[in-house]
Amino acid sequence: MTLRFHQLHPQFAAEASAVDLRAVRDDETLEQIRVGMDKHAVLVFRDQAFTSDEQLAFAIRLDGEIHRKTGISVLQKSRFGDEALTDVSNVGSSGEVLAPDSRRRLYGLANRLWHTDASFQDPRGRYSMLAALVVPPVAADTEFADMRTAYDTLAEETKASFEGLHVHHSIAYSRMTLGFEFSDEESDRLKGAIQPLVLNTPRTGRRSLYLASHASRILDRPVPDGRLLLRDLMEHATRPEFVYRHSWRIGDFVIWDNRATMHRARPFDDTRHRREMRRVTTLDVGHPHPSRIARAV
């Protein structure tokens, strides 16, 4: 099978030609998807019909190892029975829309901040794969920012000053900026991780800023006004010319590279309109041999 990719933004993001990803098991097509990710960083697949097990199986075929130490798992168990399936929805276990003061809803509000999935873990997240099952009748879009172009457009002197810098990422930090409170036990389980400020993608050699609302402080050496620098970089990286906005349809399946992008959910009346999405994130570890992945699932 030969996939085609139609670019959706001048810098990145593309829509793939028609394909049923549930049936994709051959090395050639899986590698075409990886190459598409290398180039575009965000890929949109239409009219997918994954069950939870099928979504997990596809993620393993494409990228190997699954992220299961999700932040929300510290608060409660997954209603799907597997912590690898992140519930990006505004409904409870019985399908009811969450109340405005629901702790899970308040926790999820931080998804409206610019972030990268699992930057607060070691190893960090690589690909995220989000399936849209129920879409509200109002705009409930997701924005993506191209962190590669954001890095490319920095002054050479600025790029040089970032070499060797590392940043502490904590999901507790991003939530607490919105006033969310954790118990002592929850805080103990959310220590965070240390990540480079600039990433080098092995498959392409491209460099990108690695930022998120989880980024709390710069380490390694004194940096004047370090937290202000992180804020300034976030502002630079999310300039309109670096951003693609995705309008969801039922059956959309979007894959993005967390090393090359940030993303955020745009607000809608989530106490009135139901939305159900399920996300799987893979870990940024060495790619297993394609044939071994395809045979494993």
For strands 166-169 and 276-283, give the pairing: unpaired
First to last CA, the chain: 19
How confident is the model over 75-90, as pLDDT tens digits? 556 666 677 899 999 9
Q: Cα–Cα distance between 113 and 266 in angstroms, integer?
A: 9
Find out whether 63 and 282 touch, Cβ atoms under 8 Å: yes
pLDDT tens-digit profile of 163-210?
999 999 999 899 999 998 888 778 777 889 999 999 999 899 999 999
Angle at which helices 27-40 and 52-63 cross, to 10°: 80
Q: Name every residue whose Cβ is closer than 8 Å to that of residue 10 and which is 6 or more positions away in sequence.
A: 241
pTM listed for this prediction: 0.92
Domains of the chain by residue range = 5-296
The architecture that CATH gives domain 5-296 is: 4-Layer Sandwich (3.60)
Reported as a single tens digit per residue, the pLDDT across 244-293 is 999 999 999 999 999 999 999 999 999 999 999 999 999 999 875 544 44
Q: Which two tokens stand for residue 294?
A: 């395809």
Evaluate whether 19 touches 45 at the Cβ level (below 8 Å). Answer: yes
Q: Answer left, alpha or beta for residue 271, where phi above 0 means left and psi between -120 and 50 means alpha.
A: alpha
Predicted confidence at residue 73, as pLDDT, reads 53
